[in-house]
Amino acid sequence: MMTPLLEVKGLQKLFPVKKGWFQQPSYVHAVNGIDATVYEGETLGIVGESGCGKSTLGRCILRLLEPTRGEILFQGRDISQLPKKEMHAVRRHMQMVFQNPFDTLNPKLKIGQILTEPLLSHGIPREQRQSLLEETVEIVGLNKRHLGRYPHEFSGGQRQRIGIARALMLQPKLIIADEPVSALDVSIQSQILNLMQDLQEHLSLTYIFISHDLSVVEHISDRVAVMYLGEIVEFADKDKLFLQPLHPYSQALLSATPTSDPDEKHERIILRGDLPSPSNPPQGCKFHPRCHACMEICRTEVPRLREVDGRQVACHLY
Ligand code: SF4
């Protein structure tokens, strides 16, 4: 039986929008009532256009951003209200890999110092630190000699390996990877994805993998949540989603993905317009101004996520 590692219930993150003195305050609904379960050992892909709230969701789960509402259960324990000190202890088990490691690696510190920081911060005894350092750089495909170098001495792919090593230093259970390969060349992307898959197998890791790139998500995920304007619109096993997407937004995203078979007939669905502002989302179905299948009801009634063909879909068509 699959064991839940993480559950989020009704997770919401609002950002206030500054207006004039006498105007009502308004809010950007960056994440709007997300419910999801992540099981031990799986990779949950989160996909959507830039600005759909997927990175904010990842940061809220780790409480790098404080959620406005909702529960976050990690191994059955609600961590959404934990005081800072207790949350710091929980973060040992939940780590993040960022899109551009160069932005998050201190250029004045050597790699050995950067990787030791989390160990010091969590009070790992001195006698364990060196062996942990050496083991971790090795499993990400670097070696001891690299510990004495500075971040600028590495290529983009090596820097991402360092970012992954930093996330692994405390032997976490869950890693949230936010666009971890989108800043890399395609050939390097596959090396990093393969590394992440190997690490998952050997270290029994669970991933939440955030990306705008469907082919990357297809490669690495077991299940996929498609997000639009802060909400999940389709949640399905990877194979089901990529074989037959049901939500019109998922259909449009998938139709824009190139296929490896040149003979395969591929009709592209062009999305109308841009992503609407999350501070002033459309009434009814938020996707309706761009939807090729829009009906009258879609303009006024919000579709709820419901079970359709062994997956969850939020659309009046089903
Ligand atoms: Fe399109 Fe209507 Fe479904 Fe929204 S509810 S995705 S507008 S068909």
pLDDT of residue 256: 79
Cα 294 to averaged position of ligand 1 atoms, centre (Å) = 5
Cα 271 to averaged position of ligand 1 atoms, centre (Å) = 13
Q: Are 203 and 168 in contact (CB under 8 A)?
A: yes
Query: What number is the average pLDDT over the span 69-84?
Result: 96
298, 301, 304, 305: residue to mutate for ligand 1 pocket, most atoms within 8 A of CB? 298
Give the pLDDT confidence of 78-95 residue by residue, as tens digits.
Answer: 999 999 999 999 999 999
User: Which atom of ligand 1 approaches the CA of 288 most closely?
Assistant: 7
Give the lowest-confidence range in 17-21, 24-28, 55-59, 252-256: 17-21
Cα 30 to averaged position of ligand 1 atoms, centre (Å) = 20
Buried b (16+ CB within 10 A) or exposed e, 147-161: beeebeebebbbbbb
Q: Are 106 and 184 in contact (CB under 8 A)?
A: no
pLDDT of residue 235: 98
Q: Dig out the tokens for 145 from the structure.
A: 């000699």
pLDDT of residue 264: 66
pLDDT of residue 100: 81
In a domain, 224, yes or no: yes
Query: What number is the average pLDDT over the span 167-180?
Result: 96
Query: What number is the average pLDDT over the span 93-120?
Result: 91
User: Which atom of ligand 1 approaches the CA of 248 most closely?
Assistant: 6
List the residue whose alpha carbon is closest to atom 7 of ligand 1: 288
Cα 293 to averaged position of ligand 1 atoms, centre (Å) = 6
* pLDDT exceeds cutoff 80 at 144: yes
What is the average pLDDT score of the chain? 92
pLDDT of residue 313: 98
Cα 262 to averaged position of ligand 1 atoms, centre (Å) = 31
Give the lowest-confidence range in 12-26, 57-71, 227-241: 12-26
CATH for 113: 3.40.50.300
What number of other Cβ atoms are within 10 A of residue 140's Cβ?
22
Give the lowest-confidence range in 45-59, 229-243, 245-259, 260-274: 260-274
User: Which atom of ligand 1 approaches the CA of 295 most closely?
Assistant: 2
* pLDDT exceeds cutoff 90 at 300: yes
* pLDDT exceeds cutoff 90 at 72: yes
pLDDT of residue 271: 81
* pLDDT exceeds cutoff 90 at 21: no
List the residue whose alpha carbon is closest to atom 3 of ligand 1: 315
* pLDDT exceeds cutoff 70 at 37: yes
User: Which atom of ligand 1 approaches the CA of 247 most closely?
Assistant: 6
227, 231, 285, 292: residue to mutate for ligand 1 pocket, most atoms within 8 A of CB? 285
pLDDT band per the 50, 70, 90 thresholds, residue 23:
confident
Alpha helices, H only, the chain = 54-61, 84-90, 101-104, 111-121, 126-139, 156-168, 186-203, 214-220, 238-243, 248-255
Query: What number is the average pLDDT over the span 59-79?
Result: 96
294, 296, 306: residue to mutate for ligand 1 pocket, most atoms within 8 A of CB? 294
In a domain, 318, yes or no: no
pLDDT of residue 82: 95
Looking at this protein, which amino acid is placed at residue 309? Answer: D
Looking at this protein, which amino acid is placed at residue 262? Answer: P
Give the pLDDT confidence of 270-298 residue by residue, as tens digits.
Answer: 787 778 888 888 999 999 999 999 999 99
Phi, psi of 140 (to 5 degrees): -95, 10
In a domain, 32, yes or no: yes
Name the residue range of residue 135's domain.
4-313
Query: What number is the average pLDDT over the span 127-144?
Result: 94
Domain count, the chain: 1
Ligand 1 surroundings by CB, under 6 angstroms:
247-248, 285, 287-288, 291, 293-295, 298, 303, 315-317
pLDDT of residue 259: 67
Strands 43-47 and 223-228: parallel
User: Which atom of ligand 1 approaches the CA of 292 most closely?
Assistant: 1
Query: What number is the average pLDDT over the span 34-45?
Result: 97
For the entire predicted model, the pTM comes to 0.92
Q: Are 192 and 180 in contact (CB under 8 A)?
A: yes
Give the lowest-confidence range in 50-59, 121-130, 253-262: 253-262
Query: What number is the average pLDDT over the span 216-232?
Result: 96
* pLDDT exceeds cutoff 80 at 25: no
